[in-house]
Amino acid sequence: MKYSKILGVGSYLPPHVWTNEDLSKMMETSDEWIQQRTGIKQRHWVDLDSDTCSSDLALVAAERALASANVKKDEIDLIIFATLSPDHEFPGTACFFQEKIGIPGIPALDVRQQCTGFIYGLSIADQFIKTGMYRKVLLVGAEVHSKGLDRSTRGRDVAVLFGDGAGAAVIGVGEEPRDSRVSQIYSTHLHADGRFAKELWVPEPSNAHPGDRLTADRLIEGGHYPKMHGKTVFVHAVKRMPEVLLESLKANQVSIEEIDLFVFHQANLRINEMVASQLGIPAEKVFNTIERFGNTTAATIPIGLDEAVRAGKLKTGMLVATAAFGSGFTWASALLRW
């Protein structure tokens, strides 16, 4: 059977940085309060008066990934776009992105698995390549959260967490004879539990109501803004992420000590610190970006991979483990050789 590998990665953050002090002018919060609870110092947001959307950020990240992979856009067979902040209700953002990057005709699909969206997308790309259906897949995770946040004191528990950004990866067929030393995606592991779907969600607009999907009263109540039961999310995240990470290691008969770098989803620095502590992972083996970028949801892992490469922390031949947990609840992991 064929195998797949990451050929290149790229990322893009909008230039405007919003510090915790900036947010304290918009809501009742402080740098100390935010850092103590989340580890976040700043995040990037698009110009709130602009028409910039997720597909715009994705375009820059994707072009950088293609350049990194030395792949021309016309070689791409499939686009996978992971996001929870789509440009429009429909059609899928992958189609808007496809028009902007200029690759008409090939299939383009959205993945709506929130924080685990990139790993879910990686799994799809991996399977298509293994079966011989496609040879090169462009996988993108992109978010413009800032325009959908309640940036008042009412919404601060969620608003302080999220940043805008995009990351992309080009997934291709491994050309060398497969053994444990060549660059490859070993396996992906996916899970979900819809019993907790309302622990982290956006209630409006909704067809679950009688009558109109969205009313003025529901807008006034703020139902179109994300809601989170933070303690519940935290408890499940620090349980599920170690579980799914160990699942990937067991499937490939690899020990924690053999992993060269861990690139986790960036939801909360305290979650990642607890996961590392539970598994005995040295801090120097965990690459975090949340301090600078906040939670960029589907974009966090590809941004992290790209940042790690540029920082010299991720090098050819390294064994990399990644895991994510998010809304749904969904959780996932992947093991790969860089």
Instruction: Using alpha carbons, list the distances in angstroms from residue 55 to 92, 93, 105, 246.
Output: 10, 7, 18, 34
Q: What is the CATH superfamily name and number for domain 184-337?
A: Thiolase/Chalcone synthase (3.40.47.10)
Which pLDDT belongs to residue 180?
A: 74
Which pLDDT belongs to residue 271?
A: 96
- Which of 20, 95, 115, 288 is catalytic? The answer is 115
Contact in structure between 140 and 168 (CB atoms under 8 Å): yes
Q: Is 70 a catalytic residue?
A: no
Which pLDDT belongs to residue 175?
A: 83
Spatial separation of the C-alpha atoms in residues 205 and 218, rounded to whole Å: 9
Same fold, 4-173 and 184-337: yes
Instruction: Using alpha carbons, list the distances in angstroms from residue 54 to 43, 67, 87, 98, 300.
Output: 16, 20, 6, 12, 14
Which pLDDT belongs to residue 179?
A: 83
- Which of 20, 268, 272, 295 is catalytic? The answer is 295
Q: Is 265 a catalytic residue?
A: yes
Would you list the domain boundaries of the chain? 4-173, 184-337
Which pLDDT belongs to residue 99?
A: 98
Q: Which CATH number does the domain 4-173 belong to among 3.40.50.300, 3.40.47.10, 3.90.1150.10, 3.10.350.10?
A: 3.40.47.10
* pTM reported for the whole predicted model: 0.96
Spatial separation of the C-alpha atoms in residues 137 and 60, rounded to whole Å: 17
- Which of 20, 145, 265, 288 is catalytic? The answer is 265
DSSP state letters, 100-158: HHT-TTS-EEEE--GGGHHHHHHHHHHHHHHTTS-SEEEEEEEE--GGGS--SGGGHHH
Which pLDDT belongs to residue 178?
A: 83
| Low pLDDT (below 70) residues in the chain | none
Q: Is 53 a catalytic residue?
A: no
